Amino acid sequence: MSTFSNPVCQRSLCLLRKYIEEGEVAYYLGSGVDINLVQKVPSWNELVTNLFKIPFKNLSRENLEKSEEKDLEKLGEKFPNEFASFTRWSLGDFSFFKEVENKFSEKINDAPDSKDFIDNFCKLLLKASLIITTNYSDYIYKVLTQYNEKSKTPKQIVVLNREDLASFKFSNPNKNSNIIKFIYLHGRCSNGSYPILDSWGYNIAQNDDTFYFEFLNNLFSSKHVISIGTSWEDIPLRNSAALIMRTRPYVNQSHIAFSIDDQLDNSKSVYRTWSNVMKGAYGVSFVNVKKKGKIESAKLMSYLDKKLEQPNLDDYEGLAKFLDEAGDFESILQTDFLKDKSPLQRHAHERISKSAETIYNNVLNNFYEIKWETVAIIEKHMRHHIYLYSDSTTANKLRKNLWNKLSKNIPKKNKWKKINDRLKFDFIVGGWEIIDANLNNIPSFCYKKFSKVFNNRLKIVKKNKIWMSVENRLINNNSDINKTETEIENIALELLDSGWESMAAKLLCDKAVFLSICNREEVNNSLLSFYKQSNNVVNQAIRAEAVARSVGCYRRRIKADVINAIWNPDFNTGRILLLGRLGANDTIQCIEPGLLGALGLGLLVCFLKSKNSIVPIKKHEAIKKHEAIKLFKDSGLSEYHLKKALSRYWENIMPIVIYEQFENLRKEFGIV
C-alpha cells in the first residue's frame, strides 16, 4: 500500500496483520468511526458546544449575537469538558443525558462507499475478542451485530460498561474464541451506566476508579491496540500508553492509530516528525487515512484482513514482496521468518544465519534468472541479517559479491528512472555500507533526479562517510577532539533534518562512544570520579536512545542503554533499565547474540559498581568466572552470550578502571 510506505508504519501494519489473525488485537474506537457510519454525527467539540447553547435558551438568552456565537465555538474547542459540566449542572442529569442521546439519533449511512467500509470494518472486528469504544452512541454496536447476524458467524457479543470493569479479566489470545467483549469505556446514556462526559466525570475516572487505570495499563501491555478515530488528547489514554512504553522491553506490543483527515499528509516532513514523536512517547505508530476517507478506510481494512503468507526461500518474487511488506530488518516478522525456515539448527541465531546464507547463495547462483529489482529488494533487507548473525568472513564475502553483481548489471537509464526512489537509494547507499564494494560500477545517471528527500540524504552519505568508526574519524581529524565531536554532532543534525532518524540515532550513539573514549582514562577507583566524568556520556546516551525509540530501532536503543548503564554512577538505575529490556522472550529470540551479550555486559558492570559502593573497585579481586556465568543465567542469557560480551568491541567504551577487571575473566575463557 503506497499510502503507508514509511518503513516504521509498514512494520507496524504488517505485524498487526499477523496479530489480527492470531486473535491478539484489541480495537479502541472513537467518534471518528461514528462519522464514517453516519453522515451527520457531531464531533465531540460540536456536541458540547451545541449542548452549551441549551442553557442559554433556558435562561432567556436565546438571541446570541454572531460575535458571541463565534466566541462560544472558540471556547468550546478549548474547554469542551468544562462546557459539558456547565450544561449538565444547568439541565440536571436526566435532561442532560436525554439531550445527548437525542444528538445520536441519525440512521446508519447506506451509501455504497459506507457499505464497503462497514463490511470490511465489521469483518475485522469479528476477529477480535475485545472492542473498546469511548463513544456514547450505539452505532458501532448496531452495525457489528447486524453484520454478525447477516454473515451467520457464531460470535457472541457481550456488552460491558465502565462500571463493569471490576469484573473484567484479560484472556489469553485465542483466534478460535467465539466471545467478543464490547466495552463502553466512558459509559453510555442507558440504565445502569453513568457516561463520562464532563470534567467532573473525568476527574472521578482518573483519580477514584482504579479499575479504569488498571484496564488501560493492561490493555497496552497485553494486547496489540488498533485505535481508529480516537482523540489522543485523552490524558488517561496517553498516560497508560507512555507508562507501558517506558517500562516494557524493546520488542513490545505493536500499536497503531488511524485518523481520517484530508488536510493531513503522511508523506510531509511535519506529519512524519509528529508521528515519530508520538511513537517515541507512546509506542504508537500514527497513520492518517486521507483522500476520500471511506474509500481509503475500506482499502485499509481490506489490507489488514489479508493473511500474511510466508514464501519459500527460492521463491524470489514472493520473498521480495514479503520482506518489503514486513518493513525492514528491525521487524520481528523477518527474523521469525528466517528462524522458521531453518528448523534443524539448535539456536535461533544459527537458524537465522543459515537461512540468510541460503538466500544469498541461491540468489547469487540464479542471479540472471531473477529481475534486477527483485534481487535489489532482497539484498537491501538481507545485507543486515547476514551481517548481524553470520560470521564476519562469510558475511562480508556474500554481501560484497551480491552488491557488486547488482552494480555491474544496473538497468539502462530509461528503466532505471522507473524504479522507485527508496529502492534506488537503498541500493546505492549499500555501496558505502558494505566493505570493499565497488562504487565505480555505478553510472553517473544513477545519482540524478532523486526526490528532494533522498537527494539530501545521498549528499550527506557521500560527504560524511557515516559508517566510519569513531576511532577512524578521530584519526582522520588528527586526534583533534573538539573537531571530531563537532563533526559527529553536525552529521547527526543533518540526518535528523533530512528525516533519516534511524541513521541519526547511529551517529548519536557514535557521539556517546566518542565521549566514552575521551573520558575513560579520567575515571579512577571511586564513585566520585564517576559522577564527575559520566554526566555528558549518560546524557548523550539518553538522547540517542530517544531518537532510536521514535522510529522503533531497538538495536540502537540497546547500544545507547548499555552505554548509559556502564557510565551511570547509580548502578541500580542501570541494572533495572537493562533487566527491564530483557524481560520478554521476544527480546531474546529477535536480538542477535552480540547485542544480547552487550546487555549482559552492562549488567556485569553494574554488578562491579555495586561492589564499589562499599569499597573501591581496585581493592576487589577481579570478577570470577562462576559469578559472571551465574549473573548471565539469572538474566535469561547463556555462557555463549557471555563470551560475546567479552569481545574487544566494548573495550574503549568502558572506563579503564572497570575494563581492567575483565582481563582475568577474558583469559579464563581463552579470549585474546
Cell reading at 203: 476527574
The predicted model gives 324-345 an average pLDDT of 87
pLDDT tens readout for residues 166-213: 999 998 777 778 899 999 998 887 767 777 877 777 788 778 888 998
Whether the pLDDT of residue 78 is over 80: the answer is: no
Q: Which of 311-325, 357-371, 590-604, 615-629 has the lowest mean pLDDT?
A: 615-629
pLDDT tens readout for residues 119-159: 888 988 998 999 999 988 888 999 999 999 998 888 999 99
The residue among 298 and 100 whose pLDDT is bigger is 100
Whether the pLDDT of residue 402 is over 80: the answer is: yes
Sign of CA dihedral 192, 195, 199, 202: positive
Beta-sheet strand order (sheet of 284-289)? 156-161, 179-184, 130-133, 25-29, 224-228, 255-260, 284-289
Instruction: Please write down the HEC assignment for all residues of 516-579.
Output: HHHHCCCCCCCHHHHHHHHHHHHHHHHHHHHHHHHCCCHHHHHHHHHHHHHHCCCHHHHHHHHH
Whether the pLDDT of residue 59 is over 50: the answer is: no
The residue among 547 and 527 whose pLDDT is bigger is 547
Q: Residue 670: its pLDDT value, please?
A: 83
Q: Residue 64: its pLDDT value, please?
A: 57
pLDDT tens readout for residues 338-397: 999 988 877 888 999 999 999 999 999 999 999 999 999 999 999 999 999 999 999 999
The residue among 588 and 454 whose pLDDT is bigger is 454
DSSP 627-668: HHHHHHHHTT--HHHHHHHTSGGGGGGS-HHHHGGGHHHHHH
Cell reading at 408: 555491474
168 three-state secondary structure: coil
Q: Which of 139-153, 212-226, 239-253, 511-525 has the lowest mean pLDDT?
A: 239-253
In 75-219, DSSP assigns E strands to 130-133, 156-161, 179-184
The predicted model gives 436-453 an average pLDDT of 86
The residue among 573 and 47 whose pLDDT is bigger is 573
The residue among 174 and 578 whose pLDDT is bigger is 578
- DSSP single-letter state for residue 173: P
The predicted model gives 24-46 an average pLDDT of 81
The predicted model gives 273-277 an average pLDDT of 84
Q: Residue 294: its pLDDT value, please?
A: 53
Q: Dihedrals φ, ψ of 284, to 5°?
A: -115, 125
On whether the CB atoms of residues 80 and 45 are closer than 8 A, the answer is yes
The predicted model gives 295-310 an average pLDDT of 74
- DSSP single-letter state for residue 484: H
Q: Residue 265: its pLDDT value, please?
A: 60
Q: Residue 618: its pLDDT value, please?
A: 57
